[in-house]
Amino acid sequence: MRTLLLGLFLITAATLARAQGFDHNHAAWHALLAKHVKTFAGGNASAVDYAALKNERAALQAYLAGLSAVAGNDYDTWTKPQRLAFLINAYNAWTVELILTKYPDLESIKDLGSVFQSPWKRKFFRLLGQERSLDDVEHGLIRAPGVFDDPRIHVGVVCASIGCPMLRPEAFTSDKLDAQLDDGMRRFLADGTRNRYDVASGRLRVSKIFDWYGKDFEQGHKGYDSLKATFARHAAQLAATADAQAKLRSGDYRLEFLDYDWKLNDAPRAPR
């Protein structure tokens, strides 16, 4: 009976979403994030209270049903910032939903994969009229050549892991998207556990994300047109002294990539 009622609720939510028009403020998702995402490290990192969020899974699924109800021809009429905010929120919300399918019986999102298929390739939701995987959203829609070409999306999409940039305690919205992505870059590069300049060795040690997606930073996007330009732009976040910052701005350093921490970004594991 409970399953039937939940199914009817989700269908109703999806129908209403289409009838009333899509909420580009993503208010339902924002409310869940504001309540269950905990920030630390000076606001430069975050963790998710999955245990508490699991108790509000019906609200999350109602939001997801609203995303699934959006038709492709409606999406095509939206502004570019509306489309990108929609896709980033969709990726993050379905990632959380995927974690909740097995929480607390997992240590990492990788536990949800198999020998034959990674968790990112599982087609477990419907978006814009097609069955999709997380990879479909990130690589097929967000990173599709010539569509957005914005490397800052890599601090927006979050893979439920400690090594990821922080999941923001707010939804992405079209009117704030540019500022949110810039702020995400600043916060990620200011977190010394994932990105740091070592004065003694002259090494800049950064997240593996910049290795995996280095080519995305060569597309000439608003001052993020190379990894060197990106690190120079954020020298003040990466190094404390003026001399060290000058080296970063001039490119006088050796670049190294840190190991990626795939452990779940679960709030009980976060520093207090």
Each domain of the chain, given as residue ranges in start order, spans 2-269
Q: How many CB atoms lie within 10 A of CB 175?
A: 12
Q: What does the block give as tokens for 51?
A: 């245990």
Q: What percent of the chain has pLDDT over 90?
A: 86
pTM for the model:
0.91
pLDDT score recorded for residue 3: 47
Asked whether residue 1 carries a pLDDT value surpassing 60, the answer given is no
In sequence order, which ranges of the chain are alpha helices (DSSP H)? Answer: 2-20, 27-36, 50-54, 57-68, 72-75, 80-100, 134-135, 177-190, 209-212, 227-233, 235-238, 242-250
CB 166 within 8 A of CB 39: yes
Asked whether residue 10 carries a pLDDT value surpassing 90, the answer given is no
Stronger pLDDT, 221 or 42, i.e. the higher one: 42
pLDDT score recorded for residue 116: 82
Mean pLDDT of the chain: 92
Q: How confident is the model over 244-265, as pLDDT tens digits?
A: 999 999 999 999 999 999 999 9
Q: How confident is the model over 208-245, as pLDDT tens digits?
A: 999 999 999 988 777 788 999 999 999 999 999 999 99
Strands (DSSP E) found in 97-195? 125-127, 130-132
Mean pLDDT for 184-204 is 97
pLDDT score recorded for residue 219: 84
Q: Cα-flanking dihedrals φ and ψ of residue 65, to 5°?
A: -65, -35
Q: How confident is the model over 159-178, as pLDDT tens digits?
A: 999 999 999 999 999 999 99
Asked whether residue 27 carries a pLDDT value surpassing 60, the answer given is yes
Question: Which residues 6+ apart lie within 8 Å of 254 measured at CB?
Answer: 201, 202, 203, 204
Angle formed by the axes of helices 57-68 and 2-20, nearest 10°: 40
Asked whether residue 145 carries a pLDDT value surpassing 50, the answer given is yes
Sign of torsion, CA 156 159 164 167? positive
| Closest listed residue to residue 172, CA positions, set 67, 263, 70 | 67
Distance separating the N- and C-terminal Cα atoms of the chain: 41
Could you give the C-alpha distances from 187 to 110, 173, 237, in angstroms and in order? 25, 18, 8
